[in-house]
Amino acid sequence: MEVESIYNLIPRAIEKPHKPSRYESRFRTHVKEETKQQRSPNKTMGPAKVVVPTPGEFLKKRSGEPKLPDPERKPLDSSNKKPPVPRRDERPLMGIRTNKNFINTNAVENIMSVPKKPMPKSVDTRWGDAGLLEHSGLVPKYTRKGGYGEVPEYLRRRNEETRRAQEEYDAYIRERMRMGAMKQLTDDEREGIIGGLKKNWEELHHQYQGLSVVTDTAPKKNRKERMEAEMKQLERDIELIERHKIIYIANN
């Protein structure tokens, strides 16, 4: 393994590869002659109108160079003088030595790194000047909208209709209960109904477990389908009663 040293960073001469000869079309001479024949000076723009300078206004040597002020010489400060560069035959100590392979480490880090996603840009000029899409005004910013944060009108109407329907339903329930045509189940009655439905489901399920595995006759198949339908109906009834805390029943 080569020892790392600052002297290994000296660039070496790079051998330039041989450049192949440039391709030249066989019609080049023919095209040049056609171009010269079809060329006509001042065909579209007319003659150039240029002011001819006088013989005395010729370009003189160093007349276009800017004139700089004389530089001020400052005394050299020897206190901030850096140490001399080591000679070729000197091998100064490189400080703390390490066995880390920086080449392999950098290669692994670059392979495992996730590339950065380019920022979306927009080009809005004919010269191709690009700018960030976020600041171009093409991306909608809803926080700057006039009605941002306000409840939409259709939601207000829907909430009002829901509130009005709930009030009408509550008034209907109160009226029916005042007339004695309806009553509300108590918590004990509700729990008793749920317990009875669950007990019926358990009994029916116990009978279902005792059925024959092979349903080779029509009565066996019909009985199995009937018991499955009854258990599904009991499950739906239990779920319905458990989901609603308040239940009204009509008096006969």
Give tens-digit pLDDT for 190-208: 899 999 999 999 999 999 9
- Alpha carbon distance 199, 85 (integer Å): 98
Q: Say if residue 224's pLDDT is above 60.
A: yes
Mean pLDDT of the chain: 84
Residue identified by tokens 């009854």 is: 230
Residues 6+ apart with CB under 8 A from 251: 180, 181, 182, 183
Q: Say if residue 151's pLDDT is above 60.
A: yes
Q: Phi-psi region for residue 153, left (φ > 0), alpha (ψ -120 to 50) or beta?
A: alpha
Q: What confidence score (pLDDT) does residue 236 get?
A: 93
> Which residue, among 171, 228, 182, 175, has the nearest Cα to 205 in the 3D structure?
228
Can you tell me whether residue 121 is helix, strand or coil?
strand
The answer to whether the Cα torsion of 87, 90, 94, 95 is positive or negative is negative
Q: What confidence score (pLDDT) does residue 164 get?
A: 95
Could you give the percent of the chain with pLDDT greater than 90? Answer: 25
Confidence tier at 40 by pLDDT (50, 70, 90): low
Q: 204: how many CB neighbours lie within 10 A of its CB?
A: 15
Residue identified by tokens 């300078």 is: 53
Bridge partner list, 199: none
Q: 108: how many CB neighbours lie within 10 A of its CB?
A: 11
Q: Phi-psi region for residue 218, left (φ > 0), alpha (ψ -120 to 50) or beta?
A: alpha
The residue length of the chain stands at: 252
Q: 201: how many CB neighbours lie within 10 A of its CB?
A: 19
The whole-number average pLDDT for the span 64-82 is 79
The whole-number average pLDDT for the span 89-117 is 84
Q: What confidence score (pLDDT) does residue 55 get?
A: 86
pTM: 0.38
- Alpha carbon distance 136, 7 (integer Å): 51
